[in-house]
């Protein structure tokens, strides 16, 4: 393995350490991971929902909210249709729960049995039969252009809430809420379907406030020599729409001739610290000003009592939001942030109640392997807190069945033990069981459904092993035929519910993109899992004329076609693969986050590990390097072939228990007991017999150049 430790600018490290009040080690890791701009750092240091992006940044959000409110008020039937995976299931549950709380007449459905992904002609027919007026698709719909056009012709409106890559044309819907749509207006593209759905939920909750869909004006005035600088901001749904800055010398211009007058008109204006602001405004416009001012200081101080009596300048000095601003904040910016934060905190449905759904959002985000950057970090961090409390009945049963209640649940535990079980219900054609488990208010029913989907998962595992053994000869042949560029397998032995699992496992095994296709009587259904070198959605687009439906992300995709098209697909596949750049198999590189000298190599190092959680896609576990440590008590371990090592790593002050997986054959060749070595490792907690101990998970060992500790 190659060990790589990127050079970083020590001055930048000190700057970040000082600005964000963190240690030099933490700052150096941020720099080495190129997390150096204010916004990116924010999401590693903060958990507060106030740092999430405003849902009304979606251009179509207000249209979506208005249409849903109209449907509820008119008692129209609303139908929620989702995907069969974890992200689709949690999206469906989240929206249905909210709509029911709003008093909506709502029904829902997920694809079951061998039904295709997304909307189909059969689904369209069922919507007409049910008398549906409003269809909302979640975690799907962006590629169902024909189906949505069909329901529109039958008088059914559609709202698409999705996160998959769009085709060239968008569906003709009332609103399309998808961060990957080029003109969506949303600043972060990598949301899960459930996270996008949660944005709609938050917007619906906001619609209950007095601030929904109406302009709010904020104003601040300050002296500047013989003039006064007046700044004003117009907010709609807490999104800044316009602002003006105007310098006025008292007695020079009439109030009605100012830009401020035309900007605000006859609207009510919010100010902070009325006595001071009023005096300055009177100096500018006299006692008979036509503006109507409303002091919201007490509202802000009620939300944040520690700020009482402080000026905007003083508040700015302590502001966490100001700390992460890319440019120096003006007093009006501080005022705006305070106003927005106070509303979010005072409206419990926007903060306390919204937080209660974070476990579902975390499940969707982790299951769909979304990058753990930007606001995804807040979703998952806060969601993990809820999962550790095991407050949702069905999830509690999954946690107890896997003995996760005995340890702290992190993203790895969720991805290994919880989301695969929920996902199995969809793969086995019964995603409705998982959705009902999460929707149920009856603890006994939820627990029974949890036990049922656990059994489905066991069945899925067995099927997966059988299919894996049957496709391996075909996979190896395909690997050679494509010049080791890609792997393709198909057959009746592959169940449609496990194509994604087989494709992912093949991609990991061969380290190239992989496709797996289940051949059924009339249809062939496939999945693709890719690497950064090949965009799955773009690759599948080569075969769009053969598919009845397809879609996906950059790294994963799914498709359906008539079985009769399979031969043409295989022929075209080989032609397309010829144009793929060969994917060179290179020696694995370990990207080291920090070298840990002896005085840092203490149990306190785990605090640094905790700071950078959650780990996952886009944020791998921290990799440390420590030089010149001694190996002690090497012991072979393993259930079958004793392929692993357990040992102690000795430093002048501490002895660390350690494991090194799949390394037994390296003993007495590359290192031996008693050697002085350099190691690359992760630091984790090992749970054994209700006891927690810190443990090194070693990824590589090399003998040190010097042989004395």
What token pair was written down for 390? 């095991």
351 located within any domain = no
Please give the share of the chain, as a percent, with pLDDT higher than 90. 76
pLDDT digits (tens, 9 = 90+) for 94-141: 999 999 999 999 999 999 987 877 888 889 899 999 999 999 999 999
The predicted structure's pLDDT at residue 340: 96
Is residue 260 scored above 50 in pLDDT?
A: yes
**Cα gap 200→380, rounded to integer Å:** 18
Residue 227 and residue 190 share a domain:
no
User: 395: how many CB neighbours lie within 10 A of its CB?
Assistant: 24
Last residue of a domain, one of 578, 607, 627: 578
DSSP tag of 163: -
Contacts of residues 544-552 at CB distance under 8 Å and 24 or more positions apart, as own/partner, are 546/572, 548/116, 548/523, 549/116, 549/117, 549/118, 549/143, 549/144, 550/143, 551/117, 551/118, 551/140, 551/142, 551/143, 551/164, 551/165, 552/164, 552/165, 552/528
The region, left, alpha or beta by phi > 0 then psi within -120 to 50, assigned to residue 21 is left
In a domain, 39, yes or no: no
Kindly state whether residues 72 and 200 are assigned to the same domain: yes
Same domain, residue pair 159 and 266:
no
* pLDDT value at residue 532: 74
Which of 141, 173, 206 is at the close of a domain? 206
The reported pLDDT for the residue numbered 709 is 43
Under the banding of pLDDT at 50, 70 and 90, the label for residue 424 is very high
Q: Mark whether 600 and 664 lie in a shared domain.
A: yes
Residue 16 within any structural domain of the chain = no
Span 512-566, pLDDT tens digits? 999 999 998 888 999 999 887 788 888 999 999 999 888 777 788 889 999 999 9
Shared domain check, 692 and 574: no
Say yes or no to pLDDT of 385 above 60.
yes
CA dist 454 and 459 (Å) reads 9
pLDDT at 22 over 70: yes
Respond yes or no on whether the N-terminal peptide bond of residue 614 is cis (omega within 30° of 0): yes
In sequence order, the β-bridge partners of residue 700 are 680
Distance between CA atoms of residues 24 and 30, nearest Å: 10
Residue 507: inside a domain? yes
Higher pLDDT, 323 or 706: 323
Q: Which contiguous run of DSSP H or E holds residue 105?
A: strand 105-109
CB 652 within 8 A of CB 709: yes
Q: Are residues 61 and 159 in the same domain?
A: yes
Q: Write the CATH number for 372.
A: 3.90.1640.30
Look up the CATH number of the domain holding residue 522: 3.10.310.30
Here the tokens at position 164 are 């998959």
Q: Note whether 202 and 69 are same-domain residues.
A: yes
- 248: CATH: 3.30.420
pLDDT, average across residues 465-471: 90
pLDDT digits (tens, 9 = 90+) for 274-318: 888 888 888 888 777 778 888 999 999 999 999 998 999 999 888
SS (HEC) of 327-388: CCCCHHHHHHHHHHHHHHHHCHHHCHHHHCCHHHHHHHHHHCCCCCCCCHHHHHHHHHHHHH
What pLDDT digit, counting tens, does each position of 596-638 carry?
998 889 999 999 999 999 999 999 999 999 999 999 999 999 8
d(CA 440, CA 651): 53
Residue 626 is given by DSSP the state: E
Instruction: State the pTM of this model.
Output: 0.90
Closest CA to 394 of 463, 459, 318, 451: 451
Asked if residue 162 and residue 60 are part of one domain, the reply reads: yes
384 located within any domain: yes
Q: Is residue 555 part of a domain?
A: yes
Determine the average pLDDT of the residues in 409-437: 94
Neighbours of 4 (CB within 10 A): 10
Backbone dihedral region for residue 103 (phi beyond 0: left; psi -120 to 50: alpha; all else: beta): left
Same domain, 172 and 313: no
Residue 168 has pLDDT above 90, yes or no: no
Pair 147, 120 in one domain: yes
Query: What order do you get walking across the sheet with 268-271 strand by strand?
Result: 239-248, 227-236, 215-224, 268-271, 292-295
Residue 538 covered by a domain: yes
**Residue 39 CB coordination number (10 Å):** 14
pLDDT attached to residue 585: 54
- pLDDT value at residue 707: 53
Q: What is the largest CA-CA distance in the chain?
A: 92
583 pLDDT more than 70: no
Mean pLDDT of 571-587: 77
All residues at 6 or more sequence positions from 648 whose CB lies less than 8 Å from its CB, including other chains? 631, 632, 633, 655, 656, 657, 658
CATH number, position 594: 2.40.50.460
Average pLDDT over residues 230-238: 97
Last-in-domain residue among 173, 206, 239? 206
With cut-offs at 50, 70 and 90, classify the pLDDT of residue 573: very high
Question: In what helix (H) or strand (E) does residue 413 lie, and over which residues does it extend?
Answer: helix 411-413
Over residues 475-510, the pLDDT tens digits come to: 999 999 999 999 999 998 888 888 988 999 999 899
Claim to verify: residue 195 and residue 299 sit in the same structural domain: no
Pair (59, 175) in one structural domain: yes
* Enclosing domain of residue 679: 589-703
Dihedral pair phi/psi, residue 483, rounded to 5°? 60, 40
How far apart are alpha carbons 546 and 565 in whole angstroms? 6
What is the average pLDDT value for the chain, to the nearest integer? 92
* pLDDT at site 586: 58
Q: Is 34 part of a structural domain of the chain?
A: no
Task: Pull the structure tokens for residue 227.
Answer: 């003039």
Find the helix or strand (DSSP H, E) in which 232 lies.
Answer: strand 227-236
Domain count, the chain: 5
Question: What value does the mean pLDDT take over residues 386-392?
Answer: 93
The rounded distance, in Å, linking the Cα atoms of 596 and 624 is 7
674: exposed, middle or buried (C-beta count within 10 Å: 0-12, 13-18, 19+)?
exposed
What percentage of residues in the chain have a pLDDT greater than 70?
A: 98
Which pLDDT value is given to residue 327? 83
């Amino acid at each position: 393995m190659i060990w790589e430790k990127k050079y970083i600018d020590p001055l930048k490290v000190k700057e970040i350490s000082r600005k964000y009040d963190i240690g030099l080690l933490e700052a150096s890791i941020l720099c080495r991971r190129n997390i150096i701009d204010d916004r990116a750092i924010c999401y590693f240091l903060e958990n507060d929902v106030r740092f999430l992006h405003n849902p009304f940044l979606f251009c179509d959000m207000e249209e979506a909210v208005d249409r849903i409110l109209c449907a509820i008020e008119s008692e129209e039937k609303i139908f929620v249709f989702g995907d069969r995976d974890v992200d689709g299931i949690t999206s469906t549950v989240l929206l249905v729960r909210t709509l029911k709380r709003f008093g909506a007449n709502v029904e829902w459905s997920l694809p079951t049995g061998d039904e295709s992904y997304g909307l189909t002609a059969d689904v369209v027919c069922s919507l007409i039969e049910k008398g549906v007026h409003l269809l909302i698709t979640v975690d799907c719909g962006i590629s169902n252009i024909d189906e949505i056009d069909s329901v529109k012709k039958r008088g059914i409106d559609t709202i698409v809430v999705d996160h998959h890559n769009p085709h060239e044309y968008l569906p003709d819907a009332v609103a399309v809420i998808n961060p990957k749509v080029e003109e969506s207006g949303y600043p972060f593209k990598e949301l899960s379907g459930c996270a996008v759905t949660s944005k709609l939920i938050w917007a619906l909750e906001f619609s209950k406030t007095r601030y929904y869909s109406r302009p709010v004006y904020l104003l601040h005035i300050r002296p500047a020599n013989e003039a006064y600088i007046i700044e004003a901001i117009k907010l709609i749904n807490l999104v800044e729409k316009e602002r003006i800055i105007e310098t006025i010398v008292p007695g020079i211009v009439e109030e009605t001739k100012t830009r401020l007058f035309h900007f605000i008109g006859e609207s009510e204006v919010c100010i902070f610290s009325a006595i001071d602001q009023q005096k300055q405004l009177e100096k500018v416009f006299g006692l008979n000003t036509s503006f109507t001012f409303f002091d919201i200081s007490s509202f802000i101080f009620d939300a944040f009592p520690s700020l009482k009596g402080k000026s905007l300048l003083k508040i700015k000095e302590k502001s966490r939001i100001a700390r992460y601003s890319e440019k120096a904040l003006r007093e009006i910016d501080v005022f705006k942030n305070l106003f927005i934060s106070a509303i979010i905190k005072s409206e419990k449905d926007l903060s306390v109640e919204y937080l209660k759904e974070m476990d579902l959002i975390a499940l969707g985000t982790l299951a769909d392997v979304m990058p753990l950057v930007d606001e995804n970090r807040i979703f998952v961090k806060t969601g993990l807190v809820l999962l550790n409390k095991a407050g949702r009945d069905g999830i509690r049963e999954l946690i107890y069945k896997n003995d996760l209640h005995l340890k702290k649940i992190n993203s790895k535990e969720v991805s290994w033990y919880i989301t695969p079980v929920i996902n199995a219900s969809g793969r086995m054609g019964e995603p409705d069981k998982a959705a009902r488990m999460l929707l149920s208010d009856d603890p006994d029913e939820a627990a029974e459904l949890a036990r049922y989907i656990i059994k489905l998962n066991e069945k899925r595992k067995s099927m997966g092993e059988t299919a894996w053994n049957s496709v391996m000869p075909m996979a190896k042949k395909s690997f050679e035929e494509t010049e080791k560029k890609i792997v393709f397998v198909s057959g009746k032995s592959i169940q449609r519910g496990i194509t994604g699992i087989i494709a992912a496992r093949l991609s990991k095994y061969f380290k190239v993109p992989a496709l797996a296709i289940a051949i059924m009587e009339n249809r062939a259904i496939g999945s693709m899992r890719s690497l950064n070198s090949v965009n799955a959605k773009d690759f599948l687009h080569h075969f769009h004329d053969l598919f009845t439906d397809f879609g996906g992300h950059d790294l994963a995709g799914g498709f359906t076609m008539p079985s009769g098209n399979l031969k043409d697909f295989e022929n075209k596949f080989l032609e397309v693969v010829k144009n793929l750049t060969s994917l060179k198999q290179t020696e694995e590189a370990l990207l080291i986050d920090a070298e840990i000298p002896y005085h840092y190599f203490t149990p306190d190092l785990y605090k640094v590990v905790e700071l950078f959680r959650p780990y996952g896609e886009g944020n791998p576990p921290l990799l440390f390097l420590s030089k010149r440590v001694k190996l002690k008590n090497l012991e072979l371990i393993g259930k079958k072939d004793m392929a692993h090592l357990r040992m102690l790593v000795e430093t002048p002050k501490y002895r660390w228990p350690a494991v090194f997986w799949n390394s037994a054959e390296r003993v007495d060749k590359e290192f031996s007991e008693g050697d002085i070595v350099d190691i690359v490792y992760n630091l984790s907690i090992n749970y054994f017999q209700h006891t927690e101990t810190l443990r090194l998970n070693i990824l590589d060992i090399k003998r040190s150049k010097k042989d004395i500790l």
